[in-house]
Amino acid sequence: MQTPESYESFFGAGTKPADWTEAAPSLEEIANVLKDQAHRIKEFMPQQFDKQLITPFTNKAGINFTTIGETFLFSFYHEAMHVETIKQIGKAAAAQ
């Protein structure tokens, strides 16, 4: 949904900072992309939730996805896991 193509090489499944071959986007750039995301979702999603995926898939955790809505809801859960990890890393760094 209109995120920079380079984000896949930085943040796609199985990627890690140790493997990056170019400078990552700045925190400010990522924050701006995420701020715009809310607007894009509001425009795109209401009519899309029940649409079947062209190619259903199963993720590494064994969860099957057949509709756009299923993938969208899972992304909220998955993103929250990352946010919590980032918070915990920040707390640990601050305690040092």
- Asked if 40 and 5 sit in the same domain, the reply is yes
pLDDT of 1 reads: 56
Q: Please give the distance of CA 69 from its chain centroid, rounded to a whole number.
A: 15
The encoded tokens of residue 21 equal: 């071959």
- Asked if 61 and 34 sit in the same domain, the reply is no
CB distance 71 to 88 below 8 Å:
no
Q: Count up the domains in the chain and report the number.
A: 2
- Asked if 26 and 55 sit in the same domain, the reply is no
- Asked if 40 and 55 sit in the same domain, the reply is no
Domain housing 62: 50-96
- Asked if 57 and 80 sit in the same domain, the reply is yes
- Asked if 91 and 68 sit in the same domain, the reply is yes
Q: Quick check: 65 pLDDT over 60? A: yes
31-52 pLDDT tens trace: 888 888 878 877 877 788 889 9
- Asked if 55 and 72 sit in the same domain, the reply is yes
